[in-house]
Amino acid sequence: MRKLVFVFIGVLFLECVTNEPLIKNQNVGNALGTTYSIIYITNQKLDFQKEIDSVFQVLNQSLSTYLPTSDISKINLGDSSVVVDHMFKEVFETSSKVYEASSGYFDPTVGVLANAWGFGPENRMELDSQKIDSLLEYVGWNKVKLNANGTISKNYSETRFDFNAVAKGYAIDRLGAMLNTKGIESYLVEVGGEVLTKGKNLISNKKWSVGIDDPQAETGRQLKRIVYLEDKAMASSGNYRKFRVDPETGKKYVHTINPKTGYTKNANVLATSVVANTCAEADAYATAFMAMDLSASMELLEKQPLLEGYIIYLDDEGNTQEFMTQGFGVLVQKDIISKPEE
């Protein structure tokens, strides 16, 4: 009888635990020059705002080119004594990997050109072909090195690091790592449109749904696709929002810079989305595909089994076309009537 009572009580306790109401915890705010939304599903009310702020603060101190006291700013200005932290090292290593895979189309030493074109923290320059050629001398991932003692060597003092095309994704990975240490099994981290998911949305008991913007929407935000993600990251890149218009000439300059030519890339590729295991890699590859020729991007995706990709582009007649890997197609919701996670 005593054993039966213990078993009965144990069953009741299990039922109470499993029937506890689930709570959608959410933190929203501004960081890294954009907005963020972090959703984590638990059976109790939680608030990790202090931990979130700490992640952004530490990341900025390491990688923000807009913070004069950051490690990257000091290195850019020629301080070779800076010993970088583990975050800088991990971003450097990811950049090296994607640089090699993309045949140099992803290159964070493009910072000197980003500044010159007006997309960095330093003053914009008046550019002509001769000036661009001279700046290209300072661009090239093979011209920088992460030393064993944690310092950075540059062949040219003028070389500038710009990790903006990977740092946001990496920040999302760090936020996910923080949530993992808290034992959270269901979350969606979104910063500036890039996302990392873990598990399912336990409230709906479905995979997390994430929207992809239509790059040709003339007003407001319209969705082109919605994808379902579980234990995956996705990043998108496009020139439809990030550009600069010369106030005198009215000419539009997009933010994607081809590190091989030095010029901003106005091409037939309108937007790219990449699904990967980490958001840092997804972010970097999505940027690389904006600079690469479409055929080269397709070929690279075929060679990378851990990547899935989606590219919106214009064909030779100016018609909008879509390319997606088979694995990406599996993730796509068949219609976009329902809304992605908010």
pLDDT at site 120: 63
Q: How many domains does the chain have?
A: 1
- Residue 18, domain member (yes or no): no
Domain range holding 30?
Answer: 23-331
- Residue 337, domain member (yes or no): no
Q: Which of 20-29, 86-95, 259-268, 332-341 has the lowest mean pLDDT?
A: 332-341
* CATH of residue 282: 3.10.520.10
> What dihedral do alpha carbons 266, 103, 236, 281 form, nearest 10°?
-160
- Residue 69, domain member (yes or no): yes
CA angle 110, 116, 119 (to 5 degrees): 75
Residues 6+ apart with CB under 8 A from 304: 101, 285
- Segment 268-286 shows an average pLDDT of 96
What is the value of pTM for the model shown?
0.86
pLDDT at site 342: 58
User: What does 176-217 look like in DSSP terms, one character per residue?
Assistant: HHHHHHTT--SEEEEETTEEEEES-BTTTTBPEEEEEE-TT-
Separation CA 112–CA 127 (nearest Å): 12
Separation CA 210–CA 190 (nearest Å): 10
Reported as a single tens digit per residue, the pLDDT across 48-75 is: 999 999 999 999 999 999 999 999 999 9
pLDDT confidence tier of residue 334, bands split at 50, 70 and 90: confident
The structure tokens listed for 57 are 């603060």
Separation CA 102–CA 98 (nearest Å): 6
Separation CA 9–CA 12 (nearest Å): 5
- Segment 260-287 shows an average pLDDT of 90
Of residues 240 and 102, the one with the higher pLDDT is 102
Q: Give the three-state DSSP class for 84.
A: coil
- Segment 162-189 shows an average pLDDT of 97
180 pLDDT higher than 90: yes
Q: Which of 7-11, 174-178, 281-285, 322-326 has the lowest mean pLDDT?
A: 7-11
Separation CA 200–CA 185 (nearest Å): 8
pLDDT at site 162: 94
Q: What percent of the chain has pLDDT over 90?
A: 70
- Residue 260, domain member (yes or no): yes
pLDDT confidence tier of residue 336, bands split at 50, 70 and 90: low
Separation CA 227–CA 341 (nearest Å): 11
